[in-house]
Amino acid sequence: MSLRSLLLIASCALAATASPNWTFTAGKATLLQKGEAEGRSSSFAPGKPLEDPIALGSKDTLKLTLTLNEGEDTGRPHQAYVLVKDAGSDLETHYPLSVKSNNGKAKLDLTHKDIPAHLLDTSDLSLSLVIASFGDNTPLLAPIGSVKPVITDAEKVTLEKQKAKDVGDEERFGSKPEIRHTFRADPKNPPLVITLAFLGAVLASFVGILGVWFPFLGANLGHLPKAMGTAPIAHTVFFGSLIAVEGLFVLYYTRWNLFQTLGGVGIAGLISFLSG
């Protein structure tokens, strides 16, 4: 083996040993019942979980305390939580630890109120500690022990109601009733009286325009034969397009929809622009 290969292997070994592993020390689980000041404590360590399951009643509090270590020194990882899991159903949840940044001391209080109803209604829950961080540090997944929830008959009724509330309707993943849309009916023409009133207003405006056009603006119908003789096609197409626009509005009022009318008016308007 060459000297270069030996140096490469040595550097890799040094890099591997330079990354400390996450671990913990001074692990202690204390069960406090209502009215107790100290409670009963049991110790746990990496590879040495609690031997007996902890019976957790509705008025009890399970206190977990430990010290997080990054190699030989205390540290504060980016993630540190306790994983609570039901092995039978694979349901699980997690609870972050409260960690002090100066000494790595962590703690967690666990009660019935903190545990979801579907996990609380099980015979045994496993507790595991998860510690992880960015970088090359090796994470840790260590079993702590197990908890046995204690539920009375009265609490069982409340628990079942909470489970039904959490799950919701049993048919939420099933077929739903057919949705029938009721669309609004097509608009109808207004009463004939209103139509005639507006028609009279339009005709009155034309009469007014003609009344202003001839006496005041100097309009002369005598120029019409001369204009028609000079450009008969242009004038005929222009006036025809204006009449066509009015006819399109009549169609829109009687049977056409807006998009048909806009298309027709666009074509007639273009013809009016080019011929006028």
- Region for residue 239 given its phi and psi (left: phi exceeds 0; alpha: psi -120 to 50; beta: otherwise): alpha
Q: Which two tokens stand for residue 107?
A: 């703690």
pLDDT band of residue 83 (cuts 50, 70, 90) is very high
Q: What pLDDT, on a 0 to 100 scale, did the predictor assign at position 10?
A: 46
- Nearest to residue 115, comparing CAs of 57, 73, 43? 57
Which of 52-61, 156-165, 206-215, 242-251 shows the lowest per-residue confidence on average (mean pLDDT)?
Answer: 206-215
pTM of this structure: 0.52
Categorize the per-residue pLDDT at 1 as very low, low, confident or very high, splitting at 50, 70 and 90: very low
pLDDT at 5 over 80: no
Q: Check: CB of residue 119 under 8 Å from CB of residue 110.
A: no
Pairing between β-strand 22-32 and β-strand 61-70 as defined by DSSP bridges: antiparallel
**pLDDT for residue 159 is more than 90:** no
All domains in the chain, ordered by first residue: 19-167 (2.70.50), 192-275 (no CATH)
CB neighbour list of residue 135: distance below 8 Å, 6 or more residues apart:
19
pLDDT in tens, 129-147: 999 988 888 888 999 999 9
| Residue-wise burial string across 57-96, b where 16 or more C-beta atoms lie within 10 A, e elsewhere | bbebbbebbbbbbbeeebbbbeebbbbbbbeeeeeebebe
Is the model more confident about 28 or about 72? Answer: 28
In whole angstroms, what is the distance from residue 269 CA to residue 70 CA? 82
Length of the chain: 276
The angle that helices 232-254 and 223-230 make with each other, rounded to 10 degrees, is 100
Task: Give the β-pairing of 140-149 and 54-56.
Answer: parallel
